[in-house]
Structure 1
């Protein structure tokens, strides 16, 4: 009869996971901001307060649902329906993936992103036969290199 609905250790563990989730999203946003500023410097674009305002608006859009999901997770955790704050954790992972994509766009040209995506697709398409996937990737790279060489010789007078 000593069984209680409230489990302090369980709750402390969930709070730690939630705190890590929030910190990870903040870190991802900070990294995206740094790389966005870096890209603007490279492009010689003006860096104004408008960009920072967009970051604060993004934070609002990110954290308003996250707080609501945290409340739901907390209620589920209090009655021991879940061991982890799955909703908050899932939202945090989604946001981190979005921020990672933004950083990727800031650091790579879109052409390079498409090229790497094609390479990943080739490997995933041939995941059952890894050696065939690697062969296909090498063949694609060699053909691309040949096209680049042909373009360079055509451009020269």
Structure 2
């Protein structure tokens, strides 16, 4: 029997347990990959002296929801695939949940790439952003200086007004 549902209905619990175990193991592997990436990200943030806020942790929760939705759709695809094969009379074929296995491999690959990102690459991006910001400031230095002069004038006028009020 190749269907999850058919295995359940016919009482073939050995086949059902085997297929569900494969899917469960795939889901567990993805959870482990997410946890490894999370700890790696926290460690990298500590090394860079960055503050760890709830924003980063919320991103992890969002990622978990998206990943497990993807895995759920892969599981549904496996069920549909097994139903289609059954319709073609391939009931005796030993079909594994290939979509779930492929989805797991894809997600673990993504997490591995994230884990392998070097903190130096992030430093380079931050440095490039800083250089770009500096170039923008230098291009707009006249406007910046004019704005600073205006702010200083206003502060000076306020101080004079405050001093005049105190003298009265």
Who is 2:115 aligned against?
103
- Identify unmatched segments of 5+ residues in structure 2: 1-5, 122-168
Aligned to 1:19: 24
**Among 64, 70, 92, the residue aligned to 1:65:** 70
**Matches of 1:16 and 1:75, distance apart in 2:** 18
Consecutive unaligned residues in structure 1, runs of 5 or more: 111-157
Partners of 1:44 and 1:14 in 2: CA distance: 45
Question: What is the CA-CA distance between 1:75 and the residue it aligns to?
Answer: 4.4
Instruction: Provide runs of 4+ in structure 1 moved above 6 Å.
Output: none
Superposed CA RMSD in Å reads: 2.2
Residues of 2 paired with 1:76 and 1:13: CA distance?
Answer: 17
Deviations 1:83-130 (A, max 9, x none): 210001100000001101111114x644xxxxxxxxxxxxxxxxxxxx
Q: 1:93 to 1:83 in 2, by over 3 A?
A: same
Greater Cα radius of gyration, structure 1 or 2: 2
Matches within 5 A, 1:22-33: 22-33=27-38
Larger RCO: 1 or 2 (CA < 8 Å, sep 6+): 2
Q: In structure 2, what is the Cα distance between the partners aligned to 1:83 and 1:9?
A: 14
Moved more, 74-83 or 85-94: 74-83
Q: TM-score, normalized by length of structure 2?
A: 0.57
- SS state of the match for residue 116, structure 2? helix
1:47 match: 52
Displacement of 1:46: 0.5
Q: Distance in 2 between matches of 1:51 and 1:57?
A: 10
Give the number of equivalent residue pairs: 106
TM-score by length of 1: 0.60
